[in-house]
């Protein structure tokens, strides 16, 4: 697949951007990406960009205020795919006007994980772009398109979507030779075929790319699931599994063996079918979540491939399904917010910390420590901690002099009655900042009412 066929969301899903925070410009995720460039975006910088450039800022942070808005407008006008920079802003209101300008222009702004080297991040993204990882991400997106097509259009929708995603003709044919559904031009050389109940699903046309066979396999599985909808045996199995999951979600109930509980938000029945067929899962529903009990060991890449773009989380292995479901939902909320996998083992310590304080405790800590500080002082404390207690790193993130950083840190210590060279005092600041990030995980703290309850 040529680079010009890749969209920003494909590159993001296969690179360090997947562990970054999307601060603004979500409507621009389908911008094409052709190359990755490192540029100085500080005040007064003279940028040279081309269509399809994914710009990584050479230094941490980006300018705020009017300078930042003009930067966003210049990049969007120049056809840039996105701007990524090493994060240094976590407080409510940080870069608010810049984010608003990016939303208006449809220019995605990514805050790279703290501590990431800009040049190294750019190299990693370029590697994903050149090495095929982004193409793999596109394959996942194409697979998700097949699932949605199954939901909206049944077998005919699957055939049409497969034709659109592969660029080939698709023919669903019964064993007696009847054509049941056709997508694209159903003639030309036969490229590949898969058996389905009562017939086969075949691709026709010029030689296909690397995505053709995996997508054909998934489409055949979805056709089989659609066929099984009218199968009383398959329907009875689904009902039995839902009843089993419902019974075991009662507190104190235990499954026969240790399983990993998967919670998928708003998943369609086709996803449950794929989890059953490919991972031997037992599936049910709780509230709006698909709940799948996965036997050990769990193939996590396969889970990600099957659920596609849906939000999901996984608990720790246990026979206590109710506890595992609670863990899965916590992992689904916290993991993406802090750049970790949505598995409970990856967020266990953070969950314990937040539970220890509770929502009211975190808010009270923020009110006592962060709210009394002037915004520029609070932002400096955040940048200093994010830079690993480096005055120079904080100065670079904020585009100020090192003496300004030192002055603001002294003010923070005076106003808070804490000292940043004391572990216990520093932990209070870090907990308040972390709690703020996790309470509003979608954009790092700029939009109240989103995140943990």
| Residue ranges covered by each domain of the chain | 3-131, 138-228, 233-339, 346-439
Answer yes or no: CATH 1.10.10.10 is held by domain 3-131.
no
pLDDT tens per residue, range 2-39: 344 677 877 776 666 766 778 889 889 888 888 899 88
Q: Is 190 left (phi over 0), alpha (psi -120 to 50) or beta?
A: beta
pLDDT tens, residue order, the chain (453 aa): 334 467 787 777 666 676 677 888 988 988 888 889 988 887 767 778 889 999 998 876 677 777 888 889 989 988 999 998 876 544 445 577 888 899 999 999 988 876 667 787 788 788 767 655 545 556 667 777 888 888 778 888 889 888 888 888 899 988 888 888 888 876 677 888 888 877 889 988 876 565 677 788 888 888 877 776 666 666 677 788 889 999 999 888 999 999 999 999 876 666 787 888 889 999 998 988 899 999 999 998 888 888 876 789 999 999 999 999 999 998 988 887 777 889 999 989 888 887 787 777 878 888 888 889 998 898 899 889 888 899 998 888 788 899 999 999 999 999 999 999 999 999 889 888 877 666 544 333 333 322 222
pLDDT tens per residue, range 287-312: 888 999 999 999 988 888 888 767 89
Give the CATH superfamily of 346-439. Answer: PucR C-terminal helix-turn-helix domain (1.10.10.2840)
Write down the pLDDT at residue 445.
32
pTM: 0.49
Q: What is the CA angle 277-278-283, rounded to 5?
A: 60
Structure token pair of residue 90: 């976590």
């Amino acid at each position: 697949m040529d680079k010009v066929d890749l969209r920003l969301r494909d590159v993001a899903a296969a690179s360090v951007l997947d562990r970054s925070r999307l601060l603004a410009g979500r409507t621009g995720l389908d911008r094409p990406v052709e190359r990755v460039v490192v540029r100085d975006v500080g005040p007064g910088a003279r940028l040279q960009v081309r269509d399809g450039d994914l710009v990584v800022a050479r230094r941490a942070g980006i300018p705020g205020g009017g300078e930042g808005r003009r930067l966003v407008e210049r990049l969007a006008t120049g056809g840039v795919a996105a701007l990524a920079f090493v994060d240094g802003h976590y407080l409510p209101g940080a870069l608010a006007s810049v984010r608003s300008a990016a939303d208006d222009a449809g220019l995605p702004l990514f805050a790279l994980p703290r501590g990431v080297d800009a040049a190294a991040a750019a190299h990693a993204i370029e590697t994903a772009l050149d090495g095929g990882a982004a193409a793999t991400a596109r394959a996942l997106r194409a697979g998700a398109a097949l699932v949605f097509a199954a939901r909206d259009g049944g077998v005919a929708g699957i055939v049409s979507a497969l034709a659109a995603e592969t660029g080939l003709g698709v023919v669903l044919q019964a064993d007696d030779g009847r054509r049941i559904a056709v997508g694209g031009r159903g003639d030309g050389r036969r490229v590949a075929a898969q058996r389905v109940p009562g017939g086969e699903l075949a691709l026709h046309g010029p030689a296909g790319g690397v995505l053709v066979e995996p997508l054909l396999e998934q489409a055949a599985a979805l056709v089989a699931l659609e066929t099984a909808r009218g199968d009383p045996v398959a329907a009875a199995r689904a009902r039995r599994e839902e009843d089993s999951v419902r019974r075991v979600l009662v507190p104190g109930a235990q499954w026969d063996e240790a399983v990993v509980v998967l919670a998928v938000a708003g998943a369609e029945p086709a996803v449950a079918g794929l989890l059953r067929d490919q991972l031997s899962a037992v599936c049910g529903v709780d509230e709006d979540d698909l709940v799948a009990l996965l036997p050990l060991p769990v193939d996590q890449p396969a889970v990600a491939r099957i659920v596609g773009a849906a939000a999901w989380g996984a608990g720790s292995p246990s026979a206590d399904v109710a506890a595992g479901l609670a863990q899965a939902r916590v992992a689904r909320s916290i993991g993406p917010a802090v750049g970790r996998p949505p598995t409970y083992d990856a967020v266990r310590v953070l969950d314990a910390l937040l539970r220890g304080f509770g929502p009211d405790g975190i808010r009270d800590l923020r009110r006592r420590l962060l709210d009394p500080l002037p915004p520029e002082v609070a932002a400096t404390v955040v940048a200093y901690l994010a830079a690993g207690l480096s005055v120079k790193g904080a100065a670079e993130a904020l585009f100020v002099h090192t003496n300004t950083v030192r002055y603001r840190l002294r003010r923070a210590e005076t106003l808070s009655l804490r000292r940043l060279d004391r572990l216990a005092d520093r932990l209070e600041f870090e907990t308040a900042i972390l709690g703020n990030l996790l309470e509003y995980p979608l954009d790092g703290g700029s939009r109240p009412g989103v995140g943990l309850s």
